[in-house]
Chains A and B, each alone.
Chain A
Amino acid sequence: MSDRPTERIHTRIWREEPEADNPFAARAAYCHGYDVYGEMVGRARWVDMLYLLLRGEAPTPAQADLLEALAVGLANPGPRDQSVHAAMSGGVGGSTAAASLMAALAVGAGRYCGAREVFDAMTVWAACGDDVAAWAGRIARFDAGPVDIWPDAEHPPGFDPYGVSTATIVRQLLTRLARIAQTPRLAWLAAQRPGIEAEVGLPLAFTGVAAAAFADLGFSPGEGEMLFLLLRLPGAAAHALEQQGYGFKRFPFYPVELVESGAREET
C-alpha cells in the first residue's frame, strides 16, 4: 500500500457505498440522503432530481410543477436565438456533439438573452428580499459593478432592449407559470407587468420570467444561471443535429460588406 497522503473530495450532495470487491464501483448511491437507484429511479421526476441536487431537499408538488413548466418553456429558444444558431453552426459542419453544446453554452451564457442576464436579474431579486415591489426600480437602475470578465450590462436585465411590446409567448409563459402556487414574484410580475415595463422602459423578456421563476423556487442567482444554461440545451441539441442532416448548402453563409478598415476598435 502507498503511504502517500490521501487527497479527498468533500461533498454534501452525493454518497456512494463501494462494492465489497472494488472500491471504484458503487453498490449504492445517495443524493442528499435519498437512495437514487434503490428508491428514486422510477418514482422521482427529472425535475425532482434537478431541484434536489441544487437545493438539497425534494421540491413540493407545486415547486416541481413550476420547474417542469419552466423547463418546457425554456427547452428550445428556437433557431433565431444566438445560442441555438451557435449550436447549429457546430452541427452543420459536423463538429462534435459536445462542441455544439459548448457553443450553445458559450453564446447563451451572456448578458443579452443569456444566463448572465438571468443571474443579474436574480441578484436584484435577492437584494429586494420580501420587498417584491422594489424590483422594477432597482432593475431600471441596474449597475453590474466593477469591470470583470463579463461585458458591461447594456440594458436592464430581464427586459428586451429591442422590444416594442411584450412578446405574446413571453406573456403566455408568465401567465401560465404565475397560476402555479407559491409564486409571489411571478404573480406580482403578471399582475403589475404594464406598470413595471413603463417604469423600466422596455418590455419583459424570457430572461425576466425565468429569473422570477427561479427566485420563487428559492434558487440563488448562481443556481438560476446554471439551470438556465442547462434547460435550454435540448433545443440546441435538436437543431444542431437537424442542421447536420440538412447540410451546409442549406445553411446561411451571409453576404459580406467590407467597410473601411484600419480603425482601432476601443473595447
Chain B
Amino acid sequence: MKGPEVLRSHAGVLRTRVGACWPGSHAIFRGHDLHGELGAMDWLELYVFGITGRRYSDQEIRLLHGIWVMTSYPDARLWNNRVGAMAGSARSSAVLGLSAAIAVTEARIYGGGPGVRAIDFFLRAGKAVKAGGDLGAFVRAELASRRIYGYGRPINTIDERLPSLIPLAVSLGFDKGRHYEMAFEVERILLKESKPFLRMNFAALTAALAADLGFSPRQYQLFNILKTLAGIPPCIVEAQCLPEGALFPTPCDEIVYEGLGARSWVR
C-alpha cells in the first residue's frame, strides 16, 4: 500500500494496541484494566510501562525514581524552571508555565538533547564492543566526527548528582551493567586523551543505566525529559507569590545594545 491509500486506510478510526477508554465503563492500559489490575500501580511504574510496554522490578522502579528526584532543582534561574516561574510572575496559567518549561527542557545543551544522544552513544558503543571492537578506538572515532554527550558540563565540570546516583545504583545492584561500567571506562579514556574538562556527568550515567534497563533512545527521550519536572512547580508557586512581574525585572539600562545606531525609517 502506498500514496493516499495509506492515509485512507487509517481514516476515521483509531486502531490501537496501547489502550483506550470506554466512558462510563472502563479503561484499558496496554492490555490491562486500569482501574482493576493496574489500579494500585506506582505512578512512575505506570509511566514507564506506558512508554515501553515492559514491567519493571521494584529495584528498577526505585532507580528510576532516584534519577527523577536527584535532578529536580527548585532554582528559578535554571532556564527551564525560569520559564515556569516567569509564567507565574506574569500571572499566566501555572499549567501553561509547566508545559512550556517541560518543552524547553528538550534542549540541545542540557536535558532532552544530551540524554537522547548519550543513550544512542552507549548503545552503539556497546554493540561495537560486543562485536569485538575496542572501546578506545570507538571513542576516538566518535570524538573525531561529533561531540560525545554526557561528558563535560556548562557552568561547572563537577557534577554534584553523581555522588548520590552512584551509591543508589550500587545498592540496587545496577553497577555491574555493561553500559554502566562503560560510562566510567569512557571517562577514563577521555581523561587519558587529555580532555580533563570532559568528566562524566549525570546525563551519561543515567543514559547508561537506562541502556542497561533496555530503553531505546526514543523510549528514553520520554522518560528522561521529566527528570527535572519536580523542580518546576515550586518555582511557579513562589513566583506567583511575588508582586506581579517582579521576577527578574529588567530596567532599560540592563539591556546591552550591540546593534546599529539610530536611522530613519522615513524615506
Contacts and interface: CB of A to CB of B under 8 A. Distances in A.
Contact of A257 (B13, B30, B54, B116): B13
Most chain B beta-carbon contacts within 10 A, residue among A9, A14, A26, A258: A258
B259 A32 contact: yes
B103 interface: yes
B165 to A, nearest CB: 23
B258 A10 contact: yes
B96 A96 contact: yes
A22 to B, nearest CB: 9
Contacts of A261: 17-19, 28, 30-31
Interface string B234-267: 0000000000000001111111111111111110
B93 interface: yes
B92 interface: yes
Interface in B1-48: 2-4, 6-7, 12-20, 28, 30-31
A18 B251 contact: yes
Interface string B173-217: 000000000000000000000000000000000000000000011
B216 A257 contact: no
B215 to A, nearest CB: 10
A142 interface: no
A168 interface: no
Q: Interface residue tally of chain B, by bracket?
A: 35 or more
Nearest to A266: B216
B53 interface: yes
A98 B92 CA distance: 10
A24 B259 contact: no
Contacts of A11: 255-259
A101 to B, nearest CB: 10
Interface in B135-153: 146
B17 A263 contact: yes
Nearest to A23: B251
B228 interface: no
A32 B117 contact: no
Most chain A beta-carbon contacts within 10 A, residue among B18, B103, B251: B251
Interface string A233-267: 00000000000000000000011111111111111
Contact of B262 (A30, A58, A265): A30
B252 A13 contact: no
A56 B3 CA distance: 42
Nearest to A29: B252
B246 to A, nearest CB: 11
B251 A147 contact: no
A131 interface: no
B89 interface: no
B72 interface: no
Contacts of A8: 254-256
Interface of B: 2-4, 6-7, 12-20, 28, 30-31, 52-54, 92-93, 96, 99-100, 103, 106, 112-113, 116-117, 120, 146, 216-219, 221, 249-266
Interface of A: 6-18, 23-24, 26, 30, 32-35, 39-40, 43-44, 56, 58, 96, 98-99, 102, 106, 146-149, 151, 162-164, 254-267
Top 10 closest A-B pairs, CB basis?
A261-B31, A23-B251, A12-B259, A18-B252, A267-B218, A15-B257, A33-B260, A39-B265, A147-B120, A33-B263
